[in-house]
């Protein structure tokens, strides 16, 4: 089975909230977008686009997308003076903790410095339908990613990679995805949050064929795309086989409506930015998690 990788760049056109465990009354957001979150947004958009009846086939569309495509996580990007869109990627150094570094290696920020550049909050509460006043205990602040970098006022984009099978339906899914120029993703979408638009690069095709994934060499000939000898992992990575040297742990759970989706759940995983062991090979799974090949 062969895979073709493409680099996608999506411009953020409204605030973005991708939920993280809250801290007190603050509803926190992630600085990146997990692959499963993007898979859900693309599934919804594709199902509505191709619906022939009253009810879009969300389940069938999602399964097709899961089998024929793999997705990387999406990371915030900014445009440099020479017109390139470069992603900010998390990295964990033993004894120093987590920091973020731009793809070209020229800029490096602490987590808090990047959060100051990217995030803001707004207050919210639930309204009691009887008294039409704020319901007790519901006052909160919602954290979100700004559509523009705070210090430069330049647009925020998100970079990701998509892997498509060359052997099965090589054109149908690709051209269906090409018809999608925008998606709505994350939380608070009813309030206009989470609009991403696929960026055209100088009028050229938005789908840029890639030979690597965030500078990690690829082996596209396996049952899953293989990442060869990465320095850091840029997705939640399963602990089996001990592929990671140091980093942070997170529990990964997936939901399907009101029930846990056990096909996307894992025990504690290494968080994005953890440092990989030398000479390890990782594959991109259907759920977007990485694991030792």
Please give the Cα distance from 34 to 131 (Å, whole number). Answer: 39
Closest C-alpha to 162, from 210, 194, 230: 210
Res. 176 pLDDT band, cuts 50 70 90: confident
Phi first, then psi: give them for residue 258, nearest 5 degrees: -105, 10
CB atoms within 10 A of CB 52: 7
27 close to 19: Cβ distance less than 8 angstroms: yes
Report pLDDT digits (tens) over 217-255: 999 888 889 999 999 999 999 988 899 999 998 888 766
193 close to 16: Cβ distance less than 8 angstroms: yes
Domain boundaries, the chain: 3-211
Predicted TM-score (pTM) of this structure: 0.91
Report pLDDT digits (tens) over 93-147: 888 889 999 999 889 999 999 999 999 998 888 787 887 887 777 788 999 999 9
Give the helix ranges, DSSP H, for 6-126: 35-50, 58-68, 111-118
| Fold for the domain defined by 3-211 | Alpha-Beta Plaits (3.30.70)
């Amino acid at each position: 089975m062969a895979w073709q990788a493409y680099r996608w760049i999506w411009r953020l056109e409204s605030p973005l909230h991708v939920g993280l465990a809250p801290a007190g009354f603050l509803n926190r957001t992630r600085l990146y977008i997990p692959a499963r979150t993007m898979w859900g947004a693309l599934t919804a958009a594709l199902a509505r686009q191709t619906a022939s009846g009253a009810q879009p086939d969300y389940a069938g569309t999602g399964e097709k997308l899961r089998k024929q495509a793999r997705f990387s996580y999406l990371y915030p990007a900014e445009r440099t003076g020479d017109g390139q869109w470069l992603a900010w990627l998390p990295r964990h150094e033993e004894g120093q903790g987590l920091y973020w570094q731009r793809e070209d290696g020229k800029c490096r920020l602490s987590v808090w410095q990047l959060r100051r550049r990217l995030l803001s909050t707004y207050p919210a509460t639930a309204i009691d339908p009887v008294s039409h006043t704020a319901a007790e205990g519901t006052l909160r602040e919602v954290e979100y990613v700004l559509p523009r970098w705070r210090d430069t006022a330049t647009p925020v984009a998100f970079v990701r990679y998509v892997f498509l099978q060359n052997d099965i339906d090589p054109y149908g899914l690709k051209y269906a995805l090409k018809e999608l120029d925008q998606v709505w993703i994350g939380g608070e979408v009813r309030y206009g949050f989470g609009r991403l638009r696929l960026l055209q690069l100088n009028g050229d095709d938005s789908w840029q064929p890639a030979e690597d994934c965030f500078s990690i060499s690829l082996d596209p000939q396996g049952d899953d795309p293989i990442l060869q000898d990465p320095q850091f992992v840029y997705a939640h990575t399963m602990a089996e086989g001990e592929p990671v040297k140091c980093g942070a742990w997170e529990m990964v759970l997936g939901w399907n409506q009101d029930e846990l989706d056990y096909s996307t759940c894992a025990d504690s995983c290494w968080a994005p930015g953890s440092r990989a062991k030398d000479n390890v090979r990782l594959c991109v799974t259907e759920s977007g998690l990485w694991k030792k090949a």
